[in-house]
Amino acid sequence: MDAAPAVESELETTAAEVKRGPVRIALGVLKTARPRQWAKNVLVFVAPFTAAQITNGGVLVDALIAFVAFSLVASSVYLINDAIDVEADRAHPTKRNRPIAAGVVPVPLAYAAAVLFFAVGLGLSFLASPQLAIVLGVYEAVQLGYCFGLKHQPVVDLSIVSSGFLMRAMAGGVAAGILLSQWFLLVTAFGSLFMVAGKRYAEIMLFERTGAKIRASLKKYSASYLRFVWATAAAILIMSYSLWAFTLREGAHGSIWPMISMVPFVIAVLRYAVDVDGGTAGEPEEIVLKDRVLQVLGVFWVATLAVTFYL
């Protein structure tokens, strides 16, 4: 007599799990899309800001379109990457909890969602500019190359990851029809390389100290080589920004503010380099969120640029 209620309860539980299934899958797809990483895409607003056009309604709308489109396209890459690495992730102590590796999101569905994200993002980009669609297409192609094997090639992996930041900055410019300065591009490129090489340096230092598991490509690097890369990138970054500041001064009729902006910028780079040198720059966003001095320098730097471009 007690069997019937037990069976009924089990059926109700099963029905509830089935009902939650689509919601779990949807949340799994969203988690795999890495919405936290969308913060990187604020780089699309940098070109309009430095061109003194961010207050232009039309330019701002185009930049917002670029932000959403880039977020969707980048998410498609995350989905494909996790689908490709599903077996390796299942053997990893933490990555096995990712939705695809955990079986929450089926691999075929992940690929289908990636195609949808890319198609919507690419279609949306045409609302701003056909050139934006080209940038997104190149970004997708390069990142897919990374997912399908280039991430295991030393130097190439650093270049591809760094190029992602550069293309984000370019996307904001082409979306709004803004001519990008060569110094702006150099600052973005070597700033990206500085952070990426610093992150890899932190990973290899952790490996040397603790024997922690590292990505395959890092086994082909030495700590001294990565130190050379990030130090060189930091030097070129400072030089490129200084030359850009001189150019901005000429365009601002001899204003002193572009020159003043060099002070917080250089100090901030050197301050961040302390963390890189100590092998603690594995999570750049955490450093920015915790380092109050770096935050003050950042605010001062942005303020000097705002005065340069808008006053």
The first and second tokens of residue 225, run together, are 């080589």
| Domain around 176 | 28-180
Residues 52 and 152 in one domain: yes
Check residue 253 and give its pLDDT.
63
Q: Of 156, 180, 204, which closes a domain?
A: 180
- Please check whether residues 47 and 105 belong to one and the same domain: yes
Per-residue pLDDT of the chain (311 residues; tens, 9 = 90+): 455 545 445 544 444 444 347 889 899 999 999 998 898 899 999 999 988 899 999 999 999 999 999 999 999 999 999 999 888 888 777 788 889 988 899 999 999 999 999 999 999 999 999 999 999 999 999 999 999 989 889 999 999 999 999 999 999 999 999 988 899 999 999 999 999 999 999 888 888 887 766 777 788 889 999 999 999 999 999 999 999 999 888 776 678 999 999 999 999 999 999 999 988 888 888 888 889 999 999 999 999 999 988 88
Same domain, 133 and 43: yes
H helix intervals, 99-222: 107-125, 130-147, 156-175, 182-210
Cα–Cα distance between 78 and 41 in angstroms, integer?
14
Pairwise CA distance, residues 267 & 233, whole Å: 15
Specify the pLDDT at position 11: 43
State the total domains in the chain. Answer: 2
Residues 74 and 127 in one domain: yes
**Torsion angle of alpha carbons 134, 136, 137, 139, nearest 10°?**
120
Say yes or no: 206 and 121 in one domain. Answer: no
Q: Within this chain, do residues 168 and 214 fall inside the same structural domain, yes or no? A: no
Q: Do 33 and 145 share a domain, yes or no?
A: yes
Q: Which of 298, 242, 252 shows the shortest CA–CA distance to 272?
A: 298
Global pTM reads: 0.85
